[in-house]
């Protein structure tokens, strides 16, 4: 079977038929060759090695079949020069191994960019768990098994990857992960974690909007009109911040009536207009406004929506807003719309939990520094740096942000150097793939 095109369940069955529960694909740091743990995975390694889009010399990825849950658990590691590969674990449905691997490769690199631009001493990593067919993934027992298995799997990787919360993963799930590994952040406050990051994320996005307005010579947020897609957690606090800055009007859409009701209850009538829409509705993009804020889901900026946009600035919290990064960033640029790369604007979620093992308290200056205008690595300064680089080079802000992030990602951790690669080398040398998680 061609494993690249196999379904994730078929891949699990193939491993099992060979009496295996673990596998990896790594890039040899000396030769640059992409190598698989088992001969049967050679075609998979070859598909990765020849990929031009999502593979960027990633240090590797590791997968395991969950002992209790039978799910495909994965950790993708782009680069560990700045520190341990860190990024949340996504629990999602994938049609093929290609989709699964591509998501992990793309997202781990994206996390590295976000961490580096934020000045955090972490590398780029991402966890990906493929939902198994025929199960109710809302069932707490199913979830507990998946996430306990995930914790064990992460422990087995000896700290080259540090996990966190992401799409499809809840605080309750993180509590399960934390039962089985120390290599996690974003744990519930009851266990010493940092809790809901949405307030800080909203504050960060608003600071990014202010930088964009300053760059364009459009003044402050006062009297501006804002269009929000999605009225969930981040938008609730974004609206609060915007109203406090005296915006003229906010219009928002959501597909979920309860989200609209929560916003209406809190801000009823206060310069706010909301609309319940269907998931395919893109009318919010055509609104006459100064700033468009994608705060719902990914890939909403695409050839269908970009031609509709009337805002001068697009700046929101959603991850991976561009359906195709270089293509859609270029179209926005050509339409004279300033797009603030999402990984620059929405960093506060990860900033909030990045260093929670060093202590958690309100008013932490190390966290607030990211929101201040004169901090070198702060959101405001980094945005202006990226915008002015783009204005000089003619490249898009997304391209410039990636280039700056690549430069910063190459800096070695000041204390530990590239310890992540040493751990990966150890896992390979000690036949990690032939073992199984501790019972």
Torsion of CA 410, 412, 417, 423, to 10 degrees: -30
Could you say whether residue 209 binds ligand NAD (CB under 6 A)? no
Give the number of residues written for the chain.
439
Query: Rounded to whole angstroms, how far apart are CA atoms 42 and 344?
Result: 37
* Residue from 46, 175, 277, 371 binding ligand NAD (CB under 6 A): 277
Q: Is 87 in the site for ligand NAD (CB under 6 A)?
A: no
Whether 126 is catalytic is yes
Is 232 an interacting residue with respect to ligand NAD (CB under 6 A)? yes
Place of tokens 């604007």: 345
- Residue 226 Cα to chain centre, angstroms: 24
Cα gap 202→134, rounded to integer Å:
37
CA pair distance 321, 141, nearest whole angstrom:
33
What are the phi and psi torsion angles at 301 (to 5°)?
Answer: -95, 110
Among 114, 126, 145, 224, the active-site one is 126
Among the residue ranges 10-18, 126-134, 312-320, 396-404, the one whose residues contact ligand NAD (CB under 6 A): 312-320
The verdict on 346 binding ligand NAD (CB under 6 A) reads yes
Residue 11 Cβ, how far from ligand NAD at the closest point, in Å?
Answer: 26
How far is CA 407 from each of CA 54, 82, 85, 112, 410, rounded to the nearest angstrom?
A: 18, 11, 17, 11, 5
- Indicate which single residue of 60, 124, 197, 378 sits in contact with ligand NAD (rule: CB under 6 A): 197
Q: For ligand NAD, which stretch binds (CB under 6 A), given 131-139, 186-194, 263-271, 293-301?
A: 293-301
Task: Rule CB under 6 A: say whether 319 interacts with ligand NAD.
Answer: yes
Q: How far is the CB of 232 from ligand NAD (least distance, A)?
A: 2
DSSP string, 116-127: HHTT-S-EEEEE
* Token representation of residue 400: 């410039």
Closest CA to 412 of 421, 423, 404: 421
Task: Indicate whether 286 belongs to the interface with ligand NAD (CB under 6 A).
Answer: no
- By beta-carbon proximity to ligand NAD, the closer residue of 319 and 325 is 319
Distance, in Å, from the CA atom of 86 to the CA atom of 115, rounded to the nearest integer, reads 8
The tokens for 278 are 């269907």
Q: Which of 297, 360, 371, 403 binds ligand NAD (CB under 6 A)?
A: 297
- Return the number of the residue (164 or 212) whose C-beta is nearest ligand NAD: 164
- Residue placing its CB nearer to ligand NAD in the complex, 1 or 167: 167
CB-hemisphere CA count at 13 Å for 296?
25
| Member of 37, 156, 201, 325 binding ligand NAD (CB under 6 A) | 201
Count of residues touching ligand NAD (by CB under 6 A): 26
Q: Identify which of residues 123 and 230 has a Cβ nearer to ligand NAD in the complex.
A: 230
Q: Which of 104, 123, 125, 349 binds ligand NAD (CB under 6 A)?
A: 349
Q: Report yes or no: 314 and 294 within 8 Å, Cβ to Cβ.
A: yes
CB of 12 to ligand NAD, least distance (A): 27
The Cα–Cα gap between 229 and 192 comes to 33
Closer CB to ligand NAD, residue 222 or residue 273?
273
Sign of CA dihedral 341, 342, 348, 354: negative
Cα separation, 314 vs 353, whole angstroms: 26
Nearer to ligand NAD, 11 or 91 (CB): 91
DSSP secondary structure letter of residue 202:
H
- Which range binds ligand NAD by CB under 6 A, 41-49, 185-193, 247-255, 364-372? 247-255
Q: Which residues are catalytic?
A: 126
- Residues binding ligand NAD (CB under 6 A): 167, 197-198, 201, 229-235, 253-256, 259, 277, 279, 295-297, 317-319, 346, 349
């Amino acid at each position: 079977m061609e494993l690249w095109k196999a379904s994730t369940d078929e891949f699990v069955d193939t491993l099992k038929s060979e009496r295996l529960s673990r596998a990896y694909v790594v890039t040899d740091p000396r030769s640059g060759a992409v190598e698989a743990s088992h001969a049967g995975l050679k075609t998979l390694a070859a598909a990765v090695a020849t990929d031009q889009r999502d593979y960027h010399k990633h240090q590797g990825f590791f997968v395991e079949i969950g002992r209790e849950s039978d799910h495909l658990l994965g950790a993708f590691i782009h680069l560990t020069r700045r520190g341990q590969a860190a990024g949340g674990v996504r629990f999602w449905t994938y049609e093929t191994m290609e989709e699964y691997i591509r998501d992990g490769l793309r997202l781990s690199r994206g996390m590295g960019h976000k961490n580096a631009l934020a000045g955090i001493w972490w590398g780029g990593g991402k966890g990906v768990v493929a939902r198994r067919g025929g199960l109710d993934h809302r069932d707490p027992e199913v979830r507990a098994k998946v996430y306990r298995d995930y914790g064990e799997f992460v422990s087995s990787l000896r700290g080259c990857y540090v996990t966190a919360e992401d799409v499809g993963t809840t605080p309750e799930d993180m509590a399960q992960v934390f039962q089985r590994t120390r290599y996690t952040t974003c744990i519930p406050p009851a266990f010493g974690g940092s809790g809901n990051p949405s307030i800080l994320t909203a504050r960060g996005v608003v600071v990014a909007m202010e930088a964009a307005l300053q760059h364009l010579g459009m003044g402050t947020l006062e009297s501006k009109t804002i269009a929000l897609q999605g009225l969930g957690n981040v938008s609730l606090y974004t609206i609060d911040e915007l109203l406090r800055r005296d915006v003229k009007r906010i219009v928002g859409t959501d597909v979920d009536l309860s989200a609209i009701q929560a916003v209406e209850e809190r801000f009823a009538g206060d310069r706010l207009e909301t609309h319940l829409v269907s998931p395919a509705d893109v009318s919010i993009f055509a609104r006459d406004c100064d700033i468009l804020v994608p705060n719902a889901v990914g890939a909403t900026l695409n050839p269908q929506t970009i031609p509709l946009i009337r805002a001068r600035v697009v700046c929101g919290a959603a991850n991976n807003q561009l359906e195709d990064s270089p293509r859609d960033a270029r179209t926005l640029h050509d339409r004279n719309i300033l797009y603030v790369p999402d990984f620059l604007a929405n960093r506060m979620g990860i900033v909030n939990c990045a260093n929670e093992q060093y202590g958690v308290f309100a008013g932490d200056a190390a966290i607030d520094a990211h929101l201040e205008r004169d901090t070198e690595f702060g959101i405001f300064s980094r945005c202006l740096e990226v915008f002015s680089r783009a204005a000089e080079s003619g490249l898009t802000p997304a391209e410039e942000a990636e280039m700056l992030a690549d430069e910063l990602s190459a800096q070695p951790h000041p204390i530990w150097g590239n310890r992540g690669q040493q751990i990966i080398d150890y896992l390979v040398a000690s036949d990690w793939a032939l073992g199984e998680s501790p019972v």
